[in-house]
Chain A
């Protein structure tokens, strides 16, 4: 798994590539939790995720809850087929703010 973070205005755009599983989700979790207190807006690109398991989904839920606690925005966009399928299986898509594109995700902030 590779994670790249860049600044777009006040927002942090996080791009994740590869597999998010039990082995890689701690690094995924650490990156997102490290970013949250330092940016009012975190936008997560999931387009290049080939595989995500329940530990990755659990991380997204935890980050979302923390963003609410901190009164910050956490927006997902570019769901790959693998991500879409796991979201569908676990019914978590209703929890998150999901956009189709980065522009739309940044616009919703």
Chain B
């Protein structure tokens, strides 16, 4: 997906400090609303992106608060694309799995939420760090 003319595209950076999570939620919500999702879907998108940033803080930076997280939000002709970049530890792909639902186990819920809400999710590791990409298509009702 590429950015279309007339579409919003913004980028910001934050420390890997949980006190900035409300700022991320505050940025994603109005963007999702402007693109056209309803209140329920906007809440779900906010949750999915917050979970992705939380995963970076917990797993890439091991709760260190001085890591760098870059967040890029891109509206496009199909919907929304979010890219997270960090310089922390590479994700262990064997541990990135959704848990069995409905059981009384506390772990793995965040990954499940991200995959359930977003249409496409990918993780990449390069020399520059970790790259997480998630996108969601806006399905317009006729």
Contacts and interface: CB of A to CB of B under 8 A. Distances in A.
Contacts of A82: 43
For chain B, what secondary structure do more than half of its interface residues adopt (helix, strand, loop), or is it mixed? helix
A74 B127 CA distance: 48
B113 A89 contact: yes
Given A53-B50, A53-B110, A92 B57 contact: no
Given A54-B113, A85-B43, A90-B112, A21 B101 contact: no
A22 B21 contact: yes
A62 interface: yes
Contacts, number: 71
A82 B46 CA distance: 11
A85 B43 CA distance: 8
Q: How large is the interface on B (under 10, 10 to 19, 20 to 34, 35 or more residues)?
A: 20 to 34
Contacts of A95: 102-104
A81 B109 CA distance: 19
Given A61-B104, A61-B105, A85 B44 contact: yes
Contacts of B58: 22
B31 interface: no
A53 B110 CA distance: 8
B118 to A, nearest CB: 12
Nearest to A85: B43
B18 interface: yes
